[in-house]
Amino acid sequence: MPIDDTREQQPLLVTMGDAAGIGPEIVLRALMREDAPAALVLGCPQALRRAAALLAPGSAWPIAVLESPADFAACPPRCIPVWAPPGLPGGLEALPWGQIDERAGRAAAACIEAAVRLLQAGTGRAIVTAPIHKEALSAAGVPYPGHTEMLQALAAPAGGAAPPVRMMLANEELRVVLVTIHMALRRALEVLDFDAVLSTIRIAHGAAAAWGQAAPRIAVAGLNPHAGEGGLFGDEEVRFIAPAVQAARAEGIDARGPYAPDTVFMRARHAPPRHPGEFDLVVAMTHDHGLIPVKYLGVEEGVNVTLGLPFVRTSPDHGTAFDIAGRGVADDASLRAALRMALALSAGG
């Protein structure tokens, strides 16, 4: 996606998330900071005001309810601009904290759809999504299991196919792109093949190019211990992972590997000046192979990025935290990291 100078002047579009979870609270905490980026919140003003009551007395900034997203430019400083998109159900401010409710699912879906439509119309810089609850979406009859699938469908051109997407989890030291995500490990082993690996490398390369990184160094992690030891500990590396890397290189992509998965993440970790990373991205075969090293560096700094979309979308690396919703103790660190990442990626970083 080419960087649009006009879009860089637009606000980030921040969706409220599940109204019964910690989404409204962390959105307010993150955007009340003096160094917060310009952002327009898509959500229910009443639900956000309920969340504001959880914060320290007198600390919450006023919520400015906009009639239209176009009113963002006229919003006064030290206010949280909020636009309620069409389709929000009533009574969100009265939902029990920490419980699945179809109204919260409907509201979350309406905010996501509206954010995509605004971006497609040229309003907004990138999307940052607060956590949603998959069961609430299902209860609302939303035909997608989560953010990724819904965004993928919304990004499809009229009458066209949805773009292939991949999940990247990233922080300031490590960026990992996954070939397979939320499925049983046995199932993941079944779906891994040459096409899946090569497609992931291509998507990772294309996304980095869209950020302004024309020749990213991509390390591909093996599947088996020691990357299979030439077939001694498994032959997936020989059969299709190494051939996919070679095919990517033939296309001009700087892909290397497969490397032993127990060391490649350390090699890629970028922590200058003592440890400059050898690679810009790591492609991992399965969910836990890829996410454990990123999360070990700090969940509070982890950011979920959807690659392959025609726009930038980031999200905090945690869920709705129903167990602490409504207590006023939610940590906004991961959402702040998602805001920073959205700014960087939409500016070519």
Query: Per the domain annotation, does 193 fall within a domain?
Result: yes
| Closest to 220 (Cα-Cα) out of 180, 176, 181 | 176
At residue 213 the predicted structure's pLDDT band, cuts being 50, 70 and 90, is confident
Question: Does 204 share its domain with 330?
Answer: no
Cis status of the peptide bond prior to 81, with omega within 30 of 0: no
Question: Does 150 share its domain with 69?
Answer: yes
What is the spatial distance between Cα 293 and Cα 306, in angstroms, rounded to a whole number?
19
Q: Give 142-162 pLDDT, tens digit per residue.
A: 998 889 889 999 999 888 888
Query: Per the domain annotation, does 302 fall within a domain?
Result: no
- What pLDDT sits at residue 274? 82
Q: Give 284-330 pLDDT, tens digit per residue.
A: 999 999 999 998 887 778 899 999 999 999 999 889 999 999 999 99
Find the distance separating the first CA and the last CA of the chain, reported in whole Å: 13
Question: Does 13 share its domain with 142?
Answer: yes
Question: Does 28 share its domain with 157?
Answer: yes
At residue 74 the predicted structure's pLDDT band, cuts being 50, 70 and 90, is very high
Question: Does 269 share its domain with 126?
Answer: no
Number of domains within the chain: 2
Question: Does 229 share its domain with 179?
Answer: yes
Question: Does 116 share its domain with 133?
Answer: yes
Q: Are 128 and 315 in contact (CB under 8 A)?
A: yes
Question: Does 30 share its domain with 152?
Answer: yes
- What pLDDT sits at residue 3? 44
Question: Does 15 share its domain with 159?
Answer: yes
At residue 61 the predicted structure's pLDDT band, cuts being 50, 70 and 90, is very high
Question: Does 132 share its domain with 47?
Answer: yes
Q: Which residues contact 236 (CB under 8 A, 6 or more apart)?
A: 192, 222, 223, 224, 228, 285
Query: Per the domain annotation, does 305 fall within a domain?
Result: no
- Residue 318's CB is within 10 A of a number of other CB atoms, namely 18
Q: Which residues contact 82 (CB under 8 A, 6 or more apart)?
A: 40, 41, 42, 43, 45, 48, 63, 64, 65, 66
Query: Per the domain annotation, does 158 fall within a domain?
Result: yes
Domain that holds residue 338: 5-163+311-346
CATH code: domain of residue 39: 3.40.718.10
Query: Per the domain annotation, does 299 fall within a domain?
Result: no
Question: Does 204 share its domain with 337?
Answer: no
Question: Does 17 share its domain with 149?
Answer: yes
Q: Give 21-30 pLDDT, tens digit per residue.
A: 999 999 999 9
Query: Per the domain annotation, does 303 fall within a domain?
Result: no
